[in-house]
Amino acid sequence: MKKLLTKGQIALLVIFAVLVIDQIIKIWIKTHMYMHQRFQITDWFEIYFTQNNGMAFGMEVFSKLFLTTFRIAAVGFIGWYLYKIVKRNLKTGFIVCVALIWAGAMGNIIDSVFYGVIFTNPDPPQIATFTAIGEGYSSWFHGKVVDMFYFPIIKSSWPTWFPFVGGDDFTFFSPIFNFADAAISCGIIALLIFYSKYLNDTQTHLNLKRK
């Protein structure tokens, strides 16, 4: 029986789905909520609108321009690698994992490259609006990545006897992230659990370089 979709088409479908869902969520959040506004869904799940200049889960280590340039270079490499593994007809699950990582990285690049020039700043009590290119809150490649998913699963305090942080509030899980971050994380975790042999297979990488 002929397959409905080729592995390349499956990869493109995954990429398209992640990008569309990610951008729909981010644009809705930006145009309906102001910074740090939150909606309590359950005791352990909130929609919390924030933005960051850094990498996944709100981390900030290097300059914004460096991070955006690094993301673009990484997406270029992952895209090349994805093309090679599709061409070599490797396992569909492995291809899907790489496609998830590529799409997630591209989703955050869109924020970094474009959002600064097409959106106004969502300072409370104002929400962001679309604006003419060049009249946004920042310049090209300096846009902020939109985050909104917050899972404070456990809220407690450190024991008073605990060194340095005794008595301080403690939250698990504290990072705020977006759909693109989730796609990257799911792709990486699935790779490590189910397809580590592909990552460690030197011969596979040598074959990819030859073709």
For 169-178, what is each residue's pLDDT tens digit?
Answer: 877 778 999 9
Query: What is the end-to-end Cα distance of the chain in Å, rounded?
Result: 29
Nearest to 145 by CA among 36, 64, 39, 32: 64
pLDDT in tens, 34-85: 999 999 999 899 999 999 876 554 455 556 777 788 889 999 999 999 999 9
**In angstroms, rounded to a whole number, what is the distance separating the alpha carbons of residues 104 and 106?**
5
Look at 108-112, 129-133, 170-174 and tell me which has the smallest mean pLDDT. 170-174
pTM of the model: 0.86
Catalogue the active-site residues.
147, 181
**In angstroms, rounded to a whole number, what is the distance separating the alpha carbons of residues 78 and 11?**
13
Amino acid at 176: I
Cα torsion 201, 193, 174, 68: sign: positive
- Could you tell me what percent of the chain has a pLDDT over 90? 64
Confidence of residue 32 (pLDDT cuts 50, 70, 90): very high
What residue ranges do the domains of the chain occupy?
7-33+50-147+178-210
DSSP 57: G
Instruction: Name the more confident of 165 and 93.
Output: 93
